[in-house]
Amino acid sequence: MAPRLQLEKAAWRWAETVRPEEVSQEHIETAYRIWLEPCIRGVCRRNCKGNPNCLVGIGEHIWLGEIDENSFHNIDDPNCERRKKNSFVGLTNLGATCYVNTFLQVWFLNLELRQALYLCPSTCSDYMMGDGIQEEKDYEPQTICEHLQYLFALLQNSNRRYIDPSGFVKALGLDTGQQQDAQEFSKLFMSLLEDTLSKQKNPDVRNIVQQQFCGEYAYVTVCNQCGRESKLLSKFYELELNIQGHKQLTDCISEFLKEEKLEGDNRYFCENCQSKQNATRKIRLLSLPCTLNLQLMRFVFDRQTGHKKKLNTYIGFSEILDMEPYVEHKGNVFLKG
């Protein structure tokens, strides 16, 4: 590269003979050295101030040198967000919505429930224009059922590693910053879903919640004096199990079904004896749903503090839970479960 002073003189030499009104575009480009060739890498030690086309010394060594893979770990890579083959899709935690995401994944993996929801007709897949012609727009779920339907479709077909359940959470009016009671949420949502689906014409859709999640038990009270037995039948969608003092799930179930003594001030009024008598009361499982929902009661009331506290007790269980010993039999016939 020629010395800088020589370049400057050559660039402005035309100014000695050209009058101002005769200055052309070519003269200007010559003055700014637009036509100079780029410098060859290795010839210049640093960027040449006299050549605007010199690309040496402007940081290219970072790109031309050895690449450090560790320096790219914090750079967002779209491929990192891509769902791996045969893997499940996750749900974004919006703050304190992990309990919602847990139930969504459980319900999604219930194939019968998922297929029933897919059969629900959509109310907003198309929009009508003023002239009566249908105009297709981005799908926006309107009802709770449609939000759940949409989420299930994304969990099944999305190419992303995780999806955002904000629409579903917002539709339910949940506070994303406050942890809610998981058992209460499950109860309320199942009740809401059952009520919503009850308006469907298709019986496979209308009755799916009862078919999959509804069981039946009886409160059985036996008078110790006359032996009279009374039953109060009740449907259930989950069994709430106390875990305090237990290590195994089967122990929790046994306590749920254990016999309770009604004595003293808590004596039972027997209609046969027409007086209060000592009695026993227990729950008998009559039938189990296809999907049995066992809720572990991890929050208990602390009398010392006057607040709820969480139990982090480990509860063990096997992959296969045999419920036959806990369900009432009639003769040699096992009812169902």
pLDDT at 133: 37
Say if 78 falls within a structural domain.
no
Cα 51 → chain centroid: 58
Helices (H) and strands (E) in the chain, counts: 11, 16
Instruction: Sort strands 90-91 and 162-163 into parallel, antiparallel or unpaired.
Output: parallel
Last residue of one domain, picked from the residues 190, 209, 228: 209
Same domain (yes/no): 196, 222: no
**CATH at residue 165:** 3.90.70.10
Say if 255 falls within a structural domain.
yes
pLDDT at 7: 66
Same domain (yes/no): 162, 234: no
Phi-psi region of 33 (alpha: psi -120 to 50; beta: other; left: phi over 0): left
- In the chain, the number of structural domains is 3
Rg (CA), the chain: 37
Same domain (yes/no): 95, 11: no
Residue 136 and residue 138: Cα distance in Å, rounded? 7
The residues that bridge with 240 in the sheet, in sequence order, are 295
Say if 83 falls within a structural domain.
no
- Reduced to 3 states (helix: H, G, I; strand: E, B; else coil), residue 300 is strand
pTM: 0.66
Same domain (yes/no): 50, 106: no
Asked if residue 12 lies in contact with residue 29, where contact means CB atoms within 8 angstroms, the answer is: no
Same domain (yes/no): 109, 145: yes
Same domain (yes/no): 127, 230: no
Same domain (yes/no): 235, 266: yes
- For tokens 């004595």, name the residue: 263
Same domain (yes/no): 204, 263: no
Last residue of one domain, picked from the residues 162, 192, 209: 209
- For tokens 């039938």, name the residue: 287
pLDDT in tens, the chain (337 residues): 456 666 677 778 888 888 888 888 888 888 888 877 787 766 776 777 777 777 776 655 555 554 454 544 544 556 667 888 888 999 999 888 999 999 999 999 999 999 999 998 877 544 433 343 344 456 788 888 999 999 999 999 988 888 999 999 999 998 888 878 888 899 999 999 999 999 899 999 999 999 999 999 999 999 999 999 999 999 999 999 999 999 999 999 999 999 999 999 999 999 999 999 999 999 999 999 999 999 999 888 888 887 888 888 899 999 999 999 999 865 443 444 4
pLDDT at 59: 59
Say if 79 falls within a structural domain.
no
pLDDT at 168: 92
Last residue of one domain, picked from the residues 209, 229, 246: 209
Same domain (yes/no): 205, 227: no
| Boundaries of domain holding 56 | 4-72
Take residue 131 and report the two structure tokens written for it: 């002239």
Say if 274 falls within a structural domain.
yes
Angstrom distances, CA of residue 65 to CA of 39, 52, 62, 144: 19, 24, 6, 55
Take residue 332 and report the two structure tokens written for it: 């040699």
Per DSSP, helices labelled H in the chain are: 4-11, 25-31, 61-64, 98-108, 111-118, 144-157, 166-172, 182-197, 203-206, 208-213, 249-256
Same domain (yes/no): 111, 127: yes
Same domain (yes/no): 121, 222: no
Say if 82 falls within a structural domain.
no
Same domain (yes/no): 189, 105: yes
Residue 255 and residue 276: Cα distance in Å, rounded? 26
pLDDT at 242: 94
Take residue 260 and report the two structure tokens written for it: 């309770």
Say if 31 falls within a structural domain.
yes
Residues 6+ apart with CB under 8 A from 49: 4
- For tokens 């179930």, name the residue: 253
